[in-house]
Amino acid sequence: MNQDKFQMWKLALSTIHADDTVSSAEKNWFEEKIKSLEQNKILAFTDEQVKTLSETIHAPVENFIDEFKKIKDPANAAFLIHILHIVSRLDNHLHQKEQAIYNELEEIILGNVDMEQTKSLVARLETEQYHDDEFFKVDNEHSLFEKVIKTVLKLMSSGEYNFPDE
């Protein structure tokens, strides 16, 4: 298992300590998940990694946020936030410390996102998806093939492409 994914699992396991209390539900949930992942050969932990995870279940990772910043793959970072969301609710109580960690991780991930650019992209994609003129627009005016295909697709279309009701 690569170091980035292992880091994610180590921090995921450490989330059970976020509220300073490890409930049996939290511990059991992780033991079941790890066991299932190992049995299905989804995880390929080394012996050293298994030892580290065993230690993590008994003691939290120091400097959780700094350790989180070492995760480079956005999918691993997002999955860790998902795990924190699940684990923090296993004991039917979202502790302030758990919420604070969740908020800080979310801020780190979204901190580099240009929201205006994202909104612009979403608006453009919606326009392309719902307007006939955009959906069936010929991008290459010199391509007879594209013109024919787009015309046939438009004729075969089962209806108009309009913005959904708001």
Determine if residue 94 is left, alpha or beta; phi over 0 gives left, psi from -120 to 50 gives alpha, anything else beta: beta
Read off the pLDDT of residues 18-53 as tens digits, 9 standing for 90 and up.
788 888 888 888 788 777 777 777 777 788 887 887
Please give the single-letter amino acid code of residue 145: F
Read off the pLDDT of residues 68-87 as tens digits, 9 standing for 90 and up.
888 888 888 888 888 888 88
Mean pLDDT, to the nearest integer, of 131-147? 77
d(CA 57, CA 132): 56
User: Which of 3, 14, 4, 7 is closest to 72 using CA atoms?
Assistant: 4
Quick count: other Cβ atoms within 10 Å of Cβ 12? 23
